Amino acid sequence: MAIKIGITGGIGSGKSVVSRLLEVMGIPVYISDIESKRLTVSDSLIRRELIALLGEDIYTDGELNKTLLASYIFGNPEHIRTVNGIIHPRVRDDFHQWVKRYDAYPIVGMESAILIEAGFAGEVDAVIMVYAPEEIRIARAMQRDTAPRELVERRVRSQMSDEDKRIQADFVIVNDGETPLIPQVLELITSLSKNIAYLCPPKK
């Protein structure tokens, strides 16, 4: 049975870079953002529940009407919880199936910006937080998304704070542009491999 690790971090932290490094080193990673978008279109249960909630217009030409969805959830935590309650359980089920396909691997990963908030931390054996100072994160996100600073700052504020993430993380990888990433990832893999019996005890 594989050790399951969760990779998380705020916007601009570089969690996707860490995930790619892990994949290069032979560790498959489930990218929950990509898979949730796929499921939102392909999963019949999600489609049915979103249509019941928002009407037929939530899908246009078979694709998700992102503008309509965004207008529904924008600034309304209760609406966000409702939509997440439709999508997250299906992502969790899909991750379980994905893990079974990669059972021969000693370590597999799940990347999610909201790993802890969505309850996915309970699906993994160890939580890995990718950390970068807030100013660096904002600059990266502005450049990556060609977005104004105000919008990026609003997105940063809407996410769980780094302090809260650190409390719940088992490992922290620093991605500040100065601290080398590869040695940290190698150290993580070594530590996980040494503690496989503790993190993932055999089923009785």
Q: Are strands 171-174 and 126-131 parallel, antiparallel or unpaired?
A: parallel
Structure tokens at 109: 């990963």
The answer to whether 131 touches 18, Cβ cutoff 8 Å, is: no
- Take residue 125 and report the two structure tokens written for it: 């054996």
Q: Report the DSSP beta bridge partners of residue 129.
A: 8, 172
14 is in an annotated binding site: yes
Does 55 belong to an annotated binding site? no
Tokens 């600073």, located at residue: 149
Any binding-site annotation on 71?
no
Per-residue b or e along 33-43, where b marks 16 or more CB atoms closer than 10 Å to that residue's CB: eebbeebbeeb
Burial class of residue 197, CB neighbours in 10 A (0-12, 13-18, 19+): exposed
Do 111 and 30 form a contact (C-beta atoms < 8 A)?
A: yes
16 is in an annotated binding site: yes
Any binding-site annotation on 193? no
How many angstroms separate the CA atoms of 70 and 149, rounded? 20
Q: What's the one-letter identity of residue 167?
A: I
Show binding-site residues for ATP: 12-17
Q: Which residues are annotated as a binding site?
A: 12-17
